[in-house]
Structure 1
Amino acid sequence: MPSLLQRWPATRDALNDRVARSAVGHWFRLEGCGHPLERPGSRFTTEIRAGLVTFASVVYIVALNPSIVSSTGGPCVAAPGVNRATDEAYQICVQEVRQEYIIVTAALSTLATGLIGIFANMPLALSTGLGVNSYFASIVGQYGVGGSVTYGQACGAVFVEGLLFFFLSLIGLRQWLARLMPRSLTISVSVAIGLFLALIGLGPAGLGVVGGDYIDLVGLGGCLPEFQDANGYCESHVLRSPKMWVGIFVGGIFTALLSIYRVRGAFLWPILLVAIISWPRSTPVTLFPHTATGDAAFDFFKQVARWTPLDKLGPQNIDWSGFGNGQVWIALITFLYVDALDTTGTMTAMSRAAGLYNEVAGDFEGSTPAFLADSGCISIGALMGSSPCTAFVESAAGIAEGGRTGITACTTAFCFFLTLFFAPIFSSIPSWATGSTLVIVGSLMAANARTINWDYAGDAIPAFVTIVLVPFTYNIAYGIIGGACTFIILHNVPKMLGRIHPSLLPPGHDTIKEPYSLGMTLSSGGNGLSGWRAFVPPWLRKALSGERHFWKQTDEEIRSTLEGRRITDARTQARASQAAREREEMRATMTQGPQEGGAFKDHDLEAGLRNVRSRNAPQQQSQAQHDEIEKLRDEEEPASPDASSKGE
């Protein structure tokens, strides 16, 4: 009789087929459900596993966000004339606020992630954003002292920001912002997020490999606590932390090996293994050292299940009269543009990674309900005293595991729901357990860099500015702003010079440069619409036209989406095939041996590169460019008949 393990593949396939044919499978468009827009490669069990991986990658926010936001003191008020640091009653209040923020963070994550999974069918996790919660804490100030606004005013600004975002998403303006970005910039955002993830994974919030030196900002870390100064920077003995090495080898090398062999759950199992290794006390890698902080954390961990009522946090804390303060409006505008660029860029990059981005329409499937879910939860979170909600870049871990539908998000939301009752367990996954996973996922996202148009500086430089600014400023929005400003300058200055005289246009402006104009963003991907009809989302166009079932997709919209999928897939495969051909031909060129015997010379490698590029040029450029390349190659490589014959 076959064992359970031997029967599992057949059982799994039967379960996947049964769920795909059910109403659940049809709603989430699993492969085999019969829906015209079913997601290729989506399987129920794969989606569940991907959701667990996503949760394991983002669960740290349940512990990290409360520590950041509670640093403001929240609604706690110290006695007049008493130092807050020595006011025991005030410190107890802050500790209670921090515990309540664990519940708030888990509840908001459950709601937001569940909504985007059910209604937008996106494999994304939403929670309180790290960058924006740091800004929230900074404007209120440490324990409410030194900030530009009060805690209640900050919550009011977040609430209004959510309402504004909801309206902008409803009329399609937020989706238009996604279409407004040029293709190379859109791709560069995903690459930049990959580097950002790697930096987070290597930094103090992950493995702690870097971030141990305040002089060069990213100096080596990983030292033991006794070799750190008062600010946590390493004074000596870097790279000696056992926790760091456990995270590197068990969480990183082991994950990479499982990925090489394509083991299912390659990201999940190492995270769980490192967490289990880190839970016992009296070990060099314990999460609970024998200190006051470690004892408190271990006491909380031992409770396993616990419910904390919200006594201090809630809508009663919002100060609605604060909008007479000009600093509140500055905070509101800052929240607005940071969230607009950060969340929109993250959702676009994640949809591209999941194969849900339509290059023809310049949008991704389910964009309107996704943006509505995000903006609605921003206002709901403000009522609970939370900073704005945003899409998490760590969702890429679940997408890399195979997540393609909202089932991934629903699984993550269910896990967040469990943290409401098991917060002591789920908030005890150490940062070094997920650090290596973030680095590996970052490497997967950085692979998109090969599809950027590096041949034209006007496209390449803005993309590179975006890529470097995101990790170095530790802010996705700043990278997008820097890249967009650079693109505007490099795109419009040559155009204005060309109007003076065509000879002032730079070489390749009409042939190598990617086509882009503002008018292109005001036309909706190949459906023949223009003006305001292309600007607003499809459901709103149908509602304004008097259609009764305006929320349902028409046959024409389904055909347009399928066509967009086919074109996007064809372009993606063409880029991958081109890269594969270049690798194969370079490998063949290098294995032919040097031209004059001995070691390879630089000009041998350059000739090989010219050969590879020129062979692929006809597939990308016009016939006139191809003829010019052939002529130049004949002049530069007269002594290489083999190369010439290959190029024909």
Structure 2
Amino acid sequence: MRIKSWIHDTNLRVARSPVGTWFRLEGCGHPKERKGSYFFTEIRAGLATFFAMAYIISVNSNITSLTGGTCVCPEEDMADFCATNAEYALCTQEINRDIVTATAAIAALSTFCMGLFANLPIALAPGMGLNAYFAYTVVGVRGSGLVSYSTALTAVFVEGWVFLGLTIIGMRQWLARALPASIKLATGCGIGLYLALIGLTYSAGIGLVQGGTDTPIELAGCAEGMMDPDTGLCLSSEKMRSATMWIGIFCGGILTALLMMYRIKGAVIIGILLVSIISWPRTTPVTYFPYTDLGTSKFDFFKQVVTFHPIKHTLLAQDWNLAGKGGEFGLAFITFLYVDILDTTGTMYSMARFAGAIDEETQDFEGSAMAYTVDAISISIGSLFGSPPVTAFVESGAGISEGGKTGLTSITTGICFFIAVFFAPIFASIPPWATGCTLVIVGALMAKAAAEINWRYYGDAIPAFLTIAIMPFTYSIAYGLIAGITSYITLNGIAWILEKVSGGRIVPPNKDESDPWSWKLKGGFLPPWVNRAAHGKRDFWKPDEEYAEKTGPAEAGSLALSEERVAHEKGQEPTTARSVKSE
């Protein structure tokens, strides 16, 4: 009881401090305090997010180092791109160590800034999917792709600054707000399935499924070394026999779900830590460090416990000499731009909705401009470290499901990544099967958004379903959004044309059940701060009732409704709202 009392008192003291006011913890007295946000809950949520995405430290380094980085392949070995060159292999091992440090460092910096400046429980790191696109398509394994590693980093650097420009003019915010309601709801559900698929695969999960030959995807679950040497697929007789998979299912999945059912705090962290600790001894069938060359290399790194590996090869590796490379650079830049803008914007919006931070009137979320700004600048800084594009992480849902509602969650995650820079051997040794089932559970929580989709009208339902389905099937959030948006425009565009041409006679029978949509959103295209600055407001970064009076009935009405809600919660009369209505 004393501990509970101490926790309660500490939560209250922090809430009433400047820290609580800045992050709008419950009890701080701020009109927009976030209900249910408490100091220790935010810390626990931040730890949950970190443990759910700590795998990115090792996974991103493994994927990105496949490009060879800045390693140079001798001319005589270019036939197979140095596949058998021992010296080149040693160089790529150094690249791998560089990217371990780079991943932890940029994740720490970007996530901390997201929490401090945008006050959102969203973590940033080099994105899964984006790093695979960077490594396998743009640069290619051992440099066999479209452009060199250095040119690709240059494209990522430029992309970040273009993103910043799009944020300043409000394009990214407008895109998130202007998406039809069914697409926005479907995005959260699709990301949930995408997250579950990540958790079920080998690279970042329990290894329950894998790509097939007769079917696009098939059951797996093989133990180490039980793959068909010709196809690389799980042998039929060995499926579902992986000890690590079952440890992940029972200790990381069922146990975590049971703890969540009984409202045990820290359930996600308990599951991940338990599986990790079980997987560290080398003498067990579920060890993360088998007696192989790779396993021994991982264990040697793990035994260092505390170490700092400086970034030697990938720091400032951009190639600014683009003479004769304009086409290649342009292709890499454009593809990164359109994939990343849809991926990051959709993920960030869905995480904000999952955290309950969306304003249903404006369809924007608090701190959106700063969130997109931090994301954009982080992309460019990350490229200077040698990293693929940084993006919002869907694993943020693990912390949000633990109760994270404010930037303190992200700050905690950022601090953990900063510590991981020096404890990389420990955090890089969290096995993927320790976090796989956590991602599946978070996916299940995010899937509840499907219940709110308008399934009654096919013009809303079919694009929503395509958004949900294409995300996991193509392993891309961006492609899912492209499918949903284009199908929505096609179906509803044709229906609109037929209605106009026929003079209103050819109309879907239940069109009145469709979700209303308009590109003319409340507040306009430009960000609110631009409108406030245009009206001469000196502290244009802070909205107030004076701005509402200057900008007309639409914005004033929105403010009035907001103040009515605040007043209702406090049991007071909304004086400002009454004056706006009377006018």
Moved more, 74-83 or 332-341: 74-83
> Which SS does the other structure have where 1:211 is aligned?
strand
Could you say which residue in structure 2 is the equivalent of 1:416? 417
Pairwise CA distance, 1:121:
0.3
- Report the CA distance shift for 1:513/1:317 in structure 2 as closer, same or farther (over 3 A): closer
Could you say which residue in structure 2 is the equivalent of 1:501? 503
> Which SS does the other structure have where 1:227 is aligned?
coil
Could you say which residue in structure 2 is the equivalent of 1:55? 50
> Which SS does the other structure have where 2:3 is aligned?
helix
Could you say which residue in structure 1 is the equivalent of 2:529? 539
Could you say which residue in structure 1 is the equivalent of 2:251? 250
Supply the distance in 1 between the matched residues of 2:557 and 2:35 (Cα, whole angstroms): 16
Q: What is the letter of the counterpart of residue 226 of structure 2?
A: F
CA displacement, residues 349-392 of structure 1 (integer Å, 9 cap, x when unaligned): 11111000112101111100000000001111111211110000
Q: What is the letter of the counterpart of residue 525 of structure 2?
A: F
Gaps of 5+ in 1: 1-5, 525-533, 571-648
Q: What is the 5 A alignment of 1:89-488?
A: 89-137=87-135, 138-144=137-143, 146-204=144-202, 205-211=204-210, 213-230=212-229, 232-236=232-236, 237-321=238-322, 324-488=325-489
* TM-score normalised by L of structure 2: 0.92
Supply the distance in 2 between the matched residues of 1:174 and 1:551 (Cα, whole angstroms): 18
Pairwise CA distance, 1:564:
5.6
Pairwise CA distance, 1:469:
0.4
Pairwise CA distance, 1:508:
1.4
Could you say which residue in structure 1 is the equivalent of 2:580? none
Pairwise CA distance, 1:290:
0.7
- Report the CA distance shift for 1:379/1:208 in structure 2 as closer, same or farther (over 3 A): same
Q: Could you tell me the percent identity over the aligned residues?
A: 50
Pairwise CA distance, 1:565:
10
Pairwise CA distance, 1:558:
11
> Which SS does the other structure have where 1:507 is aligned?
coil
- 1:306 touches 1:424 (CA, 8 Å); kept in 2? yes
- 1:153 touches 1:322 (CA, 8 Å); kept in 2? no
Supply the distance in 1 between the matched residues of 2:243 and 2:564 (Cα, whole angstroms): 49
Supply the distance in 1 between the matched residues of 2:388 and 2:503 (Cα, whole angstroms): 52
Could you say which residue in structure 1 is the equivalent of 2:60? 65
- 1:53 touches 1:268 (CA, 8 Å); kept in 2? yes
CA displacement, residues 80-137 of structure 1 (integer Å, 9 cap, x when unaligned): 3136233332221111111010000001001110111100000011000111111111
Q: What is the letter of the counterpart of residue 187 of structure 1?
A: L
Supply the distance in 1 between the matched residues of 2:518 and 2:199 (Cα, whole angstroms): 37
Q: What is the 5 A alignment of 1:18-29?
A: 18-29=13-24
* TM-score normalised by L of structure 1: 0.83
Could you say which residue in structure 2 is the equivalent of 1:633? none
CA displacement, residues 267-294 of structure 1 (integer Å, 9 cap, x when unaligned): 1101100000000111011000011111
CA displacement, residues 34-81 of structure 1 (integer Å, 9 cap, x when unaligned): 111111110000000000000001100000001111111111113331
- 1:360 touches 1:564 (CA, 8 Å); kept in 2? no
Moved more, 378-387 or 241-250: 378-387
> Which SS does the other structure have where 2:391 is aligned?
strand
Could you say which residue in structure 2 is the equivalent of 1:551? 541
Q: What is the letter of the counterpart of residue 195 of structure 2?
A: L
- 2:256 touches 2:268 (CA, 8 Å); kept in 1? yes
Which structure's CA Rg is the greater one? 1
- 1:163 touches 1:379 (CA, 8 Å); kept in 2? yes
Q: What is the letter of the counterpart of residue 359 of structure 1?
A: E
- 2:209 touches 2:217 (CA, 8 Å); kept in 1? yes
- Report the CA distance shift for 1:326/1:193 in structure 2 as closer, same or farther (over 3 A): same
Supply the distance in 1 between the matched residues of 2:176 and 2:384 (Cα, whole angstroms): 28
Moved more, 476-485 or 558-567: 558-567
Pairwise CA distance, 1:226:
3.5
Q: What is the letter of the counterpart of residue 503 of structure 2?
A: H
> Which SS does the other structure have where 2:307 is aligned?
coil
Supply the distance in 1 between the matched residues of 2:417 and 2:559 (Cα, whole angstroms): 32
Q: What is the 5 A alignment of 1:592-631?
A: none
Q: What is the letter of the counterpart of residue 151 of structure 2?
A: Q
> Which SS does the other structure have where 2:125 is aligned?
strand
Q: Does 1:45 align with 2:40?
A: yes
- Report the CA distance shift for 1:324/1:131 in structure 2 as closer, same or farther (over 3 A): same
- 2:153 touches 2:317 (CA, 8 Å); kept in 1? no
CA displacement, residues 195-233 of structure 1 (integer Å, 9 cap, x when unaligned): 111111111120111116343132111112332023541
- 1:129 touches 1:391 (CA, 8 Å); kept in 2? yes
Supply the distance in 2 between the matched residues of 1:566 and 1:357 (Cα, whole angstroms): 17
- Report the CA distance shift for 1:97/1:549 in structure 2 as closer, same or farther (over 3 A): same
Could you say which residue in structure 2 is the equivalent of 1:619? none
Supply the distance in 2 between the matched residues of 1:457 and 1:414 (Cα, whole angstroms): 46
CA displacement, residues 433-484 of structure 1 (integer Å, 9 cap, x when unaligned): 1111111111111011110001111111110010100000110000000011
- 1:50 touches 1:402 (CA, 8 Å); kept in 2? yes
Q: What is the letter of the counterpart of residue 220 of structure 1?
A: L
Supply the distance in 2 between the matched residues of 1:354 and 1:100 (Cα, whole angstroms): 34
- 1:305 touches 1:422 (CA, 8 Å); kept in 2? yes
Q: What is the letter of the counterpart of residue 537 of structure 1?
A: P
Q: What number of residue pairs does the alignment pair up? A: 551
- Report the CA distance shift for 1:150/1:256 in structure 2 as closer, same or farther (over 3 A): same
> Which SS does the other structure have where 1:502 is aligned?
coil
- 1:360 touches 1:567 (CA, 8 Å); kept in 2? no
Pairwise CA distance, 1:559:
8.9
CA displacement, residues 556-603 of structure 1 (integer Å, 9 cap, x when unaligned): 4899479469989x9xxxxxxxxxxxxxxxxxxxxxxxxxxxxxxxxx
- 1:229 touches 1:235 (CA, 8 Å); kept in 2? yes
- 2:23 touches 2:407 (CA, 8 Å); kept in 1? yes
Supply the distance in 2 between the matched residues of 1:558 and 1:140 (Cα, whole angstroms): 51
Supply the distance in 2 between the matched residues of 1:162 and 1:214 (Cα, whole angstroms): 38
Supply the distance in 2 between the matched residues of 1:61 and 1:232 (Cα, whole angstroms): 24
Gaps of 5+ in 2: 549-554, 569-583
- Report the CA distance shift for 1:376/1:181 in structure 2 as closer, same or farther (over 3 A): same
Supply the distance in 1 between the matched residues of 2:141 and 2:465 (Cα, whole angstroms): 36
Supply the distance in 2 between the matched residues of 1:217 and 1:239 (Cα, whole angstroms): 18
**Structure ranking higher on relative contact order (CA contacts 8 Å, 6+ apart):** 2
Q: What is the letter of the counterpart of residue 453 of structure 1?
A: N
Could you say which residue in structure 2 is the equivalent of 1:11? 6
CA root-mean-square deviation: 1.9
- Report the CA distance shift for 1:165/1:294 in structure 2 as closer, same or farther (over 3 A): same
